[in-house]
């Protein structure tokens, strides 16, 4: 059977409910392995190609079976192919809600414009559909990506990471507020440093403190700004890019923050989730700037200004607190260097992750460069913590 015959046969199985669901991108028993099995059965010669002309005619004949946005992407793929044929793998990627680099590159290099109306102009959407559309316009710079996301997002799983980490941070803050009988500027309480979660230079050998310090905050004003920023920015980003990528950026910012303090502000403790929050926010803002013309979110200049003002206010508060007379001398108040560590992670690793929607990071050269730089910094900071404190003969504050 010719290659084009197995394509037509695949489309013509409309009597099968599972096939209709697979074509529409819905939940079904068809996964990528089963689609490949069908391809091998219909294409014994294993050519895996069909001419773009015949492919286009099949789409026009059976396009009603597809989501309109996916049909538009397939037509764009057909028109962009200069070799006059379509690879079956690209079709598999589309039906499996996956896109390879070659698939995305074919779209980017195509000369077809998306002629149908923009996603923002579609009417009659439910509240949940309008929310998904809003998230798409908030985070993605290209219309084809926005439509792809709108069709493929199922809210399963939900953005659990940012919601969970926020709930845990609030819970720990409330618990400490009850124990210390103080909610504003908890950090000035004499017993604040005795908590086993925050980072303290004398206790740097306790490795968990480089992460758990995010559950301690200087006060309700510190917690409030961090929670607002990580929910307003982090939740939409997680909805688009998934928990794995966003949690990686967040945790990388947290670790970079505490390590930056241990290198650049060696006598100070660290509290707060600002390292992770600043990594996410700075990555998002940098992505908007780099794709300014493509970002269609409303009032994007005003939103950037508000985000920068909030970040500057929180950073200024941290700087003021660091040099304010300590409530427990000779130990100073918490350092602000964690903020800067988070920003550096955001504009390097974070930007690469947010820019490559639905692409495999393993194939991105820039990803490996920035990841290598980050790992080198982590190794340097580890050796610095082991040897530099004794070599520099620092007078560290006494342990709490």
The per-residue DSSP string of 354-397 comes to HHSTTS-GGG-HHHHHHHHHHHHHHHHHHHIIIIIHHHTT--PP
Q: Is 69 designated active site?
A: no
Give the DSSP H or E segment for 229. Answer: helix 220-229
Could you give the dihedral angle defined by the CA atoms of residues 106, 280, 266 and 319, in that order, rounded to the nearest 10 degrees? 130
Beta bridge partners of 99: none
Q: Is 339 designated active site?
A: yes
Query: Which residue in the list 69, 200, 222, 339 is annotated as catalytic?
Result: 339
Nearest 5°: the CA angle 271, 272, 276 is 125
Residue tagged 């040897």 (tokens): 387
Residues 6+ positions from 157 with CB-CB distance below 8 Å:
243
Query: Which residue in the list 262, 274, 282, 335 is annotated as catalytic?
Result: 274
Q: Which bin fits 166, alpha (ψ -120 to 50), beta or left (φ > 0)?
A: alpha
The per-residue DSSP string of 103-148 comes to HHHHHHT------SPPGGG--S--HHHHHHHHHHHHH---HHHHHH
Give the DSSP H or E segment for 251. Answer: helix 235-264
Task: Kindly state the tokens that stand for 111.
Answer: 């000369």
Cα distance between the two ends of the chain: 77
- Active-site positions? 274, 339
């Amino acid at each position: 059977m010719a290659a084009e015959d197995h394509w037509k046969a695949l489309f013509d199985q409309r009597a099968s409910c599972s096939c209709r669901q697979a074509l529409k991108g819905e939940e079904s028993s068809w996964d990528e392995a089963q689609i490949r099995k069908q391809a091998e059965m219909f294409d014994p010669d294993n050519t895996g190609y069909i001419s773009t002309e015949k492919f286009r005619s099949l789409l026009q004949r059976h396009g009603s079976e597809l989501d309109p946005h996916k049909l538009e992407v397939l037509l764009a793929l057909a028109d962009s192919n200069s070799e006059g044929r379509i690879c079956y793998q690209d079709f598999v990627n589309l039906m499996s809600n996956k896109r390879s680099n070659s698939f995305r590159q074919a779209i980017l290099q195509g000369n077809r414009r998306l002629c149908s109306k923009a996603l923002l102009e579609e009417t009659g959407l439910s509240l949940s559909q309008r929310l998904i559309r809003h998230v798409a316009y908030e985070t993605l710079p290209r219309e084809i990506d926005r439509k792809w996301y709108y069709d493929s997002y199922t809210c399963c799983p939900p953005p659990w990471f940012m919601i969970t980490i926020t709930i845990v941070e609030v819970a720990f803050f409330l618990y400490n507020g009850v124990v210390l009988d103080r909610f504003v500027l908890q950090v000035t309480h004499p017993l604040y440093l005795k908590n086993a979660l925050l980072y303290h230079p004398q206790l740097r050998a306790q490795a968990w403190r480089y992460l758990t310090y995010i559950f301690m905050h200087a006060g309700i004003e510190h917690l409030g700004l961090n929670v607002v920023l990580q929910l307003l920015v982090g939740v939409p980003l997680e909805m688009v890019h998934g928990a794995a990528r966003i949690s990686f950026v967040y945790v990388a910012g947290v670790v970079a923050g505490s390590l930056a303090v241990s290198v650049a502000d060696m006598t100070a403790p660290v509290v707060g989730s600002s390292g992770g929050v600043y990594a996410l926010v700075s990555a998002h803002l940098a992505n908007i700037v780099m794709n300014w013309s493509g970002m269609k979110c409303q009032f994007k200049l005003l939103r950037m200004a508000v985000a920068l003002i909030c970040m500057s206010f929180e950073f200024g508060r941290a700087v003021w607190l660091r040099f304010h007379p300590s409530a427990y001398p000779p130990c100073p108040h918490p350092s602000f260097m964690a903020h800067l560590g988070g920003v550096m992670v955001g504009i390097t690793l974070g930007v690469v992750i947010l820019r490559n929607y639905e692409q495999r990071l393993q194939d991105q050269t820039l990803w490996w460069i920035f990841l290598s730089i980050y790992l080198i910094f982590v190794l340097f900071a580890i050796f610095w913590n082991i040897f530099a404190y004794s070599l520099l003969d620092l007078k560290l504050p006494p342990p709490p």
